Amino acid sequence: MKAVVFENVNRWSLSTVPDPRPGDGDVLVRIDTCGICGTDRHILHGEFASTFPLIPGHKFAGTVAELSHRFPLDRFEEALKTFGRPDSYKIQLTVCSPGATDADR
User: What is the per-residue pLDDT across 36-60, written as a single tens digit (0 to 9) for each?
Assistant: 888 899 999 999 999 999 999 877 7
Q: What is the pLDDT of residue 78?
A: 43
Q: Which residues in the chain show pLDDT less than 70?
A: 71-105
Q: Which domain holds residue 98?
A: 2-104
Q: What is the pLDDT of residue 90?
A: 45
**Nearest of 97, 81, 92, 90 to residue 32 by alpha carbon:** 81
Beta strands in the chain (DSSP E): 2-8, 11-16, 27-35, 59-67, 81-87, 90-95
**Nearest of 40, 62, 36 to residue 50 by alpha carbon:** 40
Q: State the total domains in the chain.
A: 1
- Is the CB of residue 57 less than 8 Å from the CB of residue 35? yes
Q: What is the pLDDT of residue 100?
A: 57
From CA 73, how far away is CA 36, in angstroms rounded? 29
Q: What is the pLDDT of residue 53?
A: 95
> What CATH number does the domain containing 39 carry?
3.90.180.10
Give this prediction's pTM: 0.67
